[in-house]
A = this chain, B = another copy of it.
């Protein structure tokens, strides 16, 4: 690997999920050279899971005719609370583990430093290193999915606060004393701007407006409503669908305006299933945001669609220990 002609750095990233563990070897540009995955079978307990993870990593290294000593560290992205210093997964409801010493466990099989990072932070770092926010020092990536996730990159590094718990941008209030959030608080952004929120808003609107096309699209069964339904109804000229979408975009905008007023990142990246609506969502979102942010001068934060897709977790995890 370290030749006279060319010196290429490779990194190992692990996307450790409740269902699947994906491992990739990534080059310094953030391209995946090789990847593979195994089922998690989390019920086995973390020791067995981490053992299989270690074997998969070793297999991947060998298949590339590389050596453990060619790498500087292993990065693992996972959902949950983390103690980064000690490499401990404090808690993640996707696994059910409490205080699992993931790093120490993995070091039983591979003699490299192991860094843990929250998966939303990994996705944000991937967008910063190789995606929509490439070339910027400060960027924020939000993910509109079941919840509203997010990661903050400051100075090219994940910002995670003094206790590794920062970046919970979905849990900022946009309606004080509003609807209950899973976090115990009321009125969080996530309640309104997540895909889950959109579905609930679409259901309520369809129920209140029996004449709406939404009801036809789901054949009268509101349980068939998904995060696309209101957008689809709007495209076919439905007024209720359009109202739902308008209000939903307003909710997304509220949180984005907050983030821009606080951070003015160079780029704010919007990802997650809902962002697949593309310019129909992003264009309207940008109009509300730019009309309402505090600093009306130039330059402004760019708002861009996420680029990294499913590999963001691996790539971001691979980059978390990188210098500079």
Which residues in A have some Cβ–Cβ distance to B below 8 Å?
81, 90, 136-138, 152, 154-155, 159-169, 171-176, 183-185, 192, 250-251, 254, 257-258, 261-266, 292, 294-295, 297-301
In the bound complex, do residue A262 and residue B168 qualify as a contact, i.e. CB atoms below 8 Å apart?
A: yes
Given the known interface contacts A81-B295, A295-B165, A297-B90, the answer about A174 and B171 at a Cβ–Cβ threshold of 8 Å is no
Contact B257 A173 (CB under 8 A): yes
A161 with B263: CB separation less than 8 A: yes
Chain B contacts of A264 at CB under 8 A? 160-166
Known: A81-B297, A266-B162, A297-B90. A176 touches B258 (CB 8 A): no
Tell me the complex Cα distance, A295–B90, Å.
11
- Nearest residue (CB) in B for A181 is B294
User: In the assembly, what is the distance between CA of A250 and CA of B173, in Å?
Assistant: 12
B262 & A163 in contact (Cβ 8 Å cutoff): no
Which residues of chain B come closer than 8 Å to A250, judged between CB atoms? Answer: 176
With A172-B258, A173-B257, A254-B173 as contacts: A292 and B185 at CB distance below 8 Å: yes
Interchain CB contact (< 8 A) of A162 among B173, B183, B299:
B299
A167–B262 CB distance below 8 A: yes
User: CA A294 – CA B137 in complex, angstroms?
Assistant: 27
Give complex CA distance A250, B187 in Å.
13
- A137–B192 CA distance with the chains assembled, in angstroms: 33
The answer on a CB contact under 8 Å between B294 and A168 is yes
| Structural contact, B138 and A162, CB atoms closer than 8 A | yes
A292 to B176, CA, bound (A): 12
Please state if A295 and B154 are interface contacts (CB–CB under 8 Å). Answer: no
A295 touches B173 (CB 8 A): no
- Known contacts A138-B162, A163-B264, A300-B163; A258 and B173 CB within 8 A of each other: yes
Shortest beta-carbon distance from A117 to chain B in Å: 15
Which residues from chain B contact A297 at a C-beta distance below 8 Å? 81, 90, 163, 165
Closest A-B pairs by Cβ, 9 of them = A161-B264, A165-B295, A172-B258, A168-B261, A162-B266, A166-B264, A168-B294, A171-B294, A171-B261
- Report which of B81, B185, B254, B258 forms a contact with A257, defined as CB distance below 8 A: B185
Q: Check B292 against A166 for contact (C-beta < 8 Å).
A: no
* Contact residue among B90, B163, B169 (Cβ-Cβ distance under 8 Å from A299): B163
Most chain B beta carbons < 10 A, residue from A155, A169, A254:
A254
13 contacts between A and B (CB under 8 A): A90-B297, A138-B162, A161-B263, A161-B265, A162-B266, A162-B299, A163-B264, A163-B297, A168-B294, A169-B261, A174-B176, A175-B176, A176-B192
